[in-house]
């Protein structure tokens, strides 16, 4: 095993999955929001909901397409760079990801087509049903991914046979309590991403004094949803912390930057952890709070990193800072959502341009929180790939060379940077143009199933259209 190839493989996995997660995180939330919009339109008949639906459907299409192309890579990367892992854990991870592809493929592919071109061909209730099925598809996809990742965090329900993880209890693998705190945590994070993007768009339009009616609906719904979900998310986040505390004590110690066993333990709010001296510099900490957070007790003993042999310790700086950035983003979002909702109730939000600017600029916060949350979970799991059983260094393809890994990493970075800049620019243009000009045209604009991004095309390209052009 080549240590450079190992490092490059880890970087490549981190890079490609970070890029990929941006899009599903957005589309899971958006699909749910589209379902709500369609339901409200059916119930109230107000055209504003319909306008918003058609508008956000176009943005959904582009993000969905980017998620699809970047997701294909994930299905193969386990085999190319992590062949030992995929050989050993294939009997468990393979079936889980098969279900992911099969269920998501089924629901999304079947009903996305109806979503795009079926508006006039199916009854309204069925159109709503199709929207809900697309949302269910994205959610199921997230579910299987979280089952898969949770199994790597807390492997369970297996026996070792001939060097393979052989499943002996699928119920335990799918329905253990780690899955059922981590999946809601991810799901809520996606909903919050959708909520903040919608609210930020509303704030942007109000600041530009355009699309006032739509902007109000977006702001009100986005902020209200965030205001309700954020406290729940903080609570579930606490439960996620509990599982880390119970099952992954070394990760917990790294997140807390606790170097030595303490009783009762203090909580380090902020510091610069220094692994060479196994201590923190410039630490600001609160006595006893560490025991309360860790074990809900005033006197519990909390484990420090030095209780683990050096080769079993995760890096400290990344989980420590990433976790704090995530929590900081969460608290900032909570403040914005509550303040905004409160002022909105009093009809004073529109005049408060400072807060509108704050909400507008807040749209990256949920993504930062999701990415830093993932870094906390994944880097904190090190040095293990399958926690406590298979080390990352032993999971990598043994004969992979640094040159090959470097080539692929550079290619991925270059290609992703290229398509990402065009994709985001395109979404920006859609958002900037706003819901105008959709009117009657979009309802008849023919679009095709299986072609997420075609939805976002201008109804009539100036150079004619594909079907007629052949004649």
Instruction: Tell me which residues in 220-279 interact with another protein (CB under 8 A).
Output: none
Least spacing, CB of residue 178 vs another protein, in Å: 19
Please list every residue from 112 through 151 that binds another protein, using CB under 8 A.
113
The whole-angstrom separation of Cα 318 and Cα 255 is 8
Candidate list 1, 7, 160, 166; residue touching another protein; CB under 8 A:
166
The whole-angstrom separation of Cα 270 and Cα 402 is 37
Residue closer to another protein, measured from CB, 152 or 215? 152
Beta strands (DSSP E) in 127-241 are 158-161, 164-167
Please list every residue from 301 through 330 that binds another protein, using CB under 8 A.
none
Residue closer to another protein, measured from CB, 110 or 156? 110
Least spacing, CB of residue 9 vs another protein, in Å: 10
Candidate list 43, 209, 282, 467; residue touching another protein; CB under 8 A:
467
Closest CA to 53 of 142, 127, 136: 127
Please list every residue from 21 through 80 that binds another protein, using CB under 8 A.
65-66, 68-73, 75-76, 78-80
The interface mask with another protein, positions 80-119, x = CB under 8 A, is xx-xx-xx-xxxxxxxxxxxxxxx-xx--xx--x------
Please list every residue from 325 through 354 that binds another protein, using CB under 8 A.
none
Least spacing, CB of residue 294 vs another protein, in Å: 36
Least spacing, CB of residue 105 vs another protein, in Å: 6
Residue 67 sits at the vertex; the CA angle it makes with 63 and 69, to the nearest 5 degrees, is 120
Check if the beta carbon of residue 61 is closer than 8 Å to that of residue 453. yes
The pairing of beta strand 384-386 with beta strand 390-391: antiparallel
Least spacing, CB of residue 64 vs another protein, in Å: 10
The whole-angstrom separation of Cα 138 and Cα 335 is 29
Residue closer to another protein, measured from CB, 294 or 452? 452
The whole-angstrom separation of Cα 175 and Cα 188 is 19
Check if the beta carbon of residue 62 is closer than 8 Å to that of residue 453. yes
468 binds another protein, rule: CB under 8 A? yes
Report, in angstroms and rounded to the nearest whole number, the Rg of the chain calculated over CA atoms: 24
Residue closer to another protein, measured from CB, 144 or 360? 144
The whole-angstrom separation of Cα 174 and Cα 150 is 9
Check if the beta carbon of residue 217 is closer than 8 Å to that of residue 37. no
Please list every residue from 358 through 397 that binds another protein, using CB under 8 A.
397
**End-to-end Cα separation, the chain, in angstroms:** 59
Least spacing, CB of residue 66 vs another protein, in Å: 8
Residue closer to another protein, measured from CB, 61 or 319? 61
Please list every residue from 398 through 457 that binds another protein, using CB under 8 A.
398-401, 403-404, 407-408, 411-412, 415, 419, 422-423, 426, 445-454, 456-457
Please list every residue from 170 through 189 that binds another protein, using CB under 8 A.
170
Residue 166 tokens, joined: 């052989």
Give the interface size with another protein as a residue count (CB under 8 A).
84
Query: CB within 8 A of 116, min separation 6: which ones?
Result: 57, 61, 447, 448, 449, 451, 454, 455
- Is the Cα dihedral 293, 297, 299, 304 positive or negative? negative
Cα–Cα distance list, 108 to 21, 59, 68, 136, 451 (Å): 17, 16, 11, 8, 11
156 binds another protein, rule: CB under 8 A? no
168 binds another protein, rule: CB under 8 A? yes
Residue closer to another protein, measured from CB, 91 or 249? 91
Least spacing, CB of residue 23 vs another protein, in Å: 12
Q: In terms of C-beta density within 10 A (0-12 exposed, 13-18 middle, 19 or more buried), how is residue 225 classed? A: buried
Residue closer to another protein, measured from CB, 224 or 419? 419
Helix (H, G, I), strand (E, B) or coil at 433: helix
Residue closer to another protein, measured from CB, 246 or 457? 457
The whole-angstrom separation of Cα 341 and Cα 345 is 6
Residue closer to another protein, measured from CB, 297 or 450? 450
Least spacing, CB of residue 323 vs another protein, in Å: 32
Least spacing, CB of residue 407 vs another protein, in Å: 7
Residue closer to another protein, measured from CB, 210 or 401? 401
Q: Looking at 164-172, 178-186, 232-240, 264-272, which segment touches another protein (CB under 8 A)? A: 164-172
Residue closer to another protein, measured from CB, 65 or 373? 65
Least spacing, CB of residue 426 vs another protein, in Å: 6
Other CB atoms within 10 Å distance of the CB of residue 299: 11
Least spacing, CB of residue 131 vs another protein, in Å: 18
Closest CA to 320 of 264, 346, 349, 282: 282
Least spacing, CB of residue 194 vs another protein, in Å: 22
């Amino acid at each position: 095993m080549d240590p450079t190839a190992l490092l490059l493989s880890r970087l490549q996995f981190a890079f490609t999955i970070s890029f990929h997660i941006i899009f599903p995180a957005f589309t899971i939330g958006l699909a749910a929001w589209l379902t709500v919009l369609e339901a409200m339109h059916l119930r109230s008949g107000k055209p504003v909901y319909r306008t918003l639906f058609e508008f956000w459907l176009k943005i959904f299409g582009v993000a969905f397409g980017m998620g699809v192309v970047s997701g294909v890579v994930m299905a193969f990367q386990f085999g190319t760079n992590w062949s030992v892992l995929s050989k050993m854990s294939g009997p468990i991870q393979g079936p889980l990801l098969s279900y992911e592809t099969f269920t998501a493929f089924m629901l999304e592919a079947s009903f996305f087509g109806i979503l795009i071109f079926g508006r006039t061909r199916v009854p309204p209730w069925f159109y709503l049903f199709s929207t809900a099925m697309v949302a269910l598809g994205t959610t199921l996809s997230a579910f299987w991914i979280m089952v898969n990742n949770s199994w790597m965090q807390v492997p369970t329900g297996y026996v070792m046979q001939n060097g393979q993880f052989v499943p002996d209890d699928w119920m335990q693998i799918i329905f253990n309590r780690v899955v059922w705190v981590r999946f809601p945590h991810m799901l809520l994070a996606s909903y919050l991403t959708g909520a903040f993007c919608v609210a930020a768009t509303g704030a942007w339009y109000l600041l530009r004094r355009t699309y006032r009616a739509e902007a109000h609906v977006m702001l009100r719904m986005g902020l209200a949803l965030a205001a309700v979900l954020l406290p729940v998310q903080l609570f579930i986040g606490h439960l996620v912390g509990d599982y880390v505390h119970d099952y992954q004590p070394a990760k917990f110690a790294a997140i807390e930057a606790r170097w030595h066993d303490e009783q009762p333990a203090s909580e380090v709010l902020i510091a610069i952890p220094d692994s060479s001296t196994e201590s923190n510099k410039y630490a600001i900490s609160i006595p006893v709070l560490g025991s309360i957070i860790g074990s809900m007790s005033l006197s519990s003993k909390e484990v420090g990193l030095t209780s683990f042999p050096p080769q079993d310790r995760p890096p400290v700086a990344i989980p420590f800072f990433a976790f704090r950035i995530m929590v900081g983003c969460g608290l900032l979002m909570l403040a914005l959502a509550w303040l905004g909702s409160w002022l909105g109730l009093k009809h004073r939000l529109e005049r408060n341009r400072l807060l509108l600017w704050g909400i507008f600029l807040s749209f990256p916060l949920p993504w930062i929180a999701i990415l830093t949350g993932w870094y906390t979970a994944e880097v904190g799991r090190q040095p293990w790939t399958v926690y406590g059983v298979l080390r990352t260094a032993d999971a990598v393809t043994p004969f992979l060379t640094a040159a090959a890994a470097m080539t692929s990493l550079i290619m991925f970075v270059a290609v992703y940077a290229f398509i990402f800049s065009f994709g985001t620019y395109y979404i920006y243009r859609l958002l900037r143009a706003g819901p105008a000009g959709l009117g009657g045209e979009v309802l008849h604009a023919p679009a095709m199933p299986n072609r997420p991004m075609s939805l976002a095309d201008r109804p009539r390209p100036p150079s004619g259209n594909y079907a007629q052009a052949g004649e």
